[in-house]
Structure 1
Amino acid sequence: MSDLLATLYPWNKAIHIMAVITWMAGIFYLPRLFVYHAEQAETGDPRDQVFRIMEYKLFRYIMNPSMVVVWVFGLALVFTPGIVDWGMVWPWTKAASVLAMTWFHYWLGLRLKDFAAGNNTLSGRNYRMMNEVPTILMIVIVLSVVVKF
């Protein structure tokens, strides 16, 4: 199995990076949609329905599959011999940040359900502030993997 993972390493890495880009695009865009939804649409008006459709499709058809691919191919990279030295700090900071990003993804899913039920209680400002979370996590992840501190 380890020989297969080593052989497939460049493919696993490429697919992982493409999935990360797609997932991050959604993670950055969905909170921005929530900002506009919270500030510009009342429950039941036509804009509310448009926002709900956009948010649902982004989450369900782009973000969820991307997150799964990130995890599957990321774990394949982790199990590839010689790639991760768990004696260093960087794999732990990356792992913690990826777990936090996954939590953020599920938090967005809960907010999506709030909007769908007409129960959103957060303001556009709240969503703007939460939109900084993935930026900070992305910085930690990239620095961890590239600098390998």
Structure 2
Amino acid sequence: MSSAYLWIQAFHIVFVSSWFAGLFYLPRILVNLAMVPPDSHAERERLLLMGRKLYRFANILMLVALALGAWLWLGYGAGRFAGSGWLHAKLALVVVVIGYQHVCRAHLRRFEQSANQRSHRWFRVFNEVSVLLFIGIVVLAVVKPF
């Protein structure tokens, strides 16, 4: 492996981890929003602002992580991994993670419109989905089980 490959791989890992940090916390903001009393407008607005900013920042991290991942795949081994089941599974999970992030945004919009119908307990379970996706992606990338 070349030095450039290792640097790109290192930054890919950093940006993926950072992206997931946002995805770990954004649903937690949704939990907190679901628990805000109806008369607490300042708290609601503060959480909405935090959620919007975190979503935008997570989008930037996602784009950089995806660009670095594509660079690794296209520049250093697209053909080498073509028949690897683990890579197809990992890429499928990445697509699910992108969808999960967009679902987070949809929930945030519902809170902005005062149209949320989910409980804080539902959001607590929803919050764990990102952890399971992260575990799946890391295991597939490191262990390459198939």
- Same fold (TM > 0.5): yes
Aligned-partner residue type, residue 133 of structure 1: V
Q: Answer with 109-118 or 6-15: which moved more.
A: 6-15
Aligned to 1:109: 105
Instruction: Pick one of 53, 70, 86 that aligns with 1:75.
Output: 70
- Root-mean-square deviation (Å): 1.7
Question: Aligned partner of 2:16: which letter?
Answer: V
Instruction: Decide whether the 8 Å contact of 1:111 with 1:120 is kept in 2.
Output: yes
Give 3-state SS (helix, strand or coil) of 2:75's partner.
coil
Percent of residue pairs bearing the same amino acid type: 33
Q: Distance in 1 between matches of 2:107 and 2:7?
A: 35
Distance in 2 (alpha carbons) for counterparts of 1:86 and 1:133: 28
Tell which deviates more after alignment, 81-90 or 134-143.
81-90
The equivalences for 1:1-149 within 5 A come to: 8-42=4-38, 45-60=41-56, 62-82=57-77, 84-149=80-145
Q: How many residues align?
A: 143
CA distance in structure 2 between the partners assigned to 1:109 and 1:43 by the alignment: 24
- Residue 42 (structure 1) shift: 2.3
* Cα distance in structure 2, aligned partners of 1:101 and 1:93: 12
For 2:24 and 2:84, locate their aligned partners in 1 and report how far apart those are by CA, in whole Å.
Answer: 29
Give TM-score scaled by structure 2 length. 0.90
Q: Following the alignment from structure 2 to structure 1, what is the Cα–Cα distance between the partners of residues 39 and 95?
A: 33
Preserved contact between residue 5 and residue 76 of structure 2 (Cα < 8 Å): no
Q: Within 2, Cα distance between the matches of 1:128 and 1:144? A: 26
Extract unaligned runs of 5+ from structure 2: none
* Offset of residue 82 of structure 1: 3.4
Which deviations, in whole Å up to 9, do the C-alpha atoms of 1:28-58 show, x marking residues without a partner? 0011111111012427611111111111111
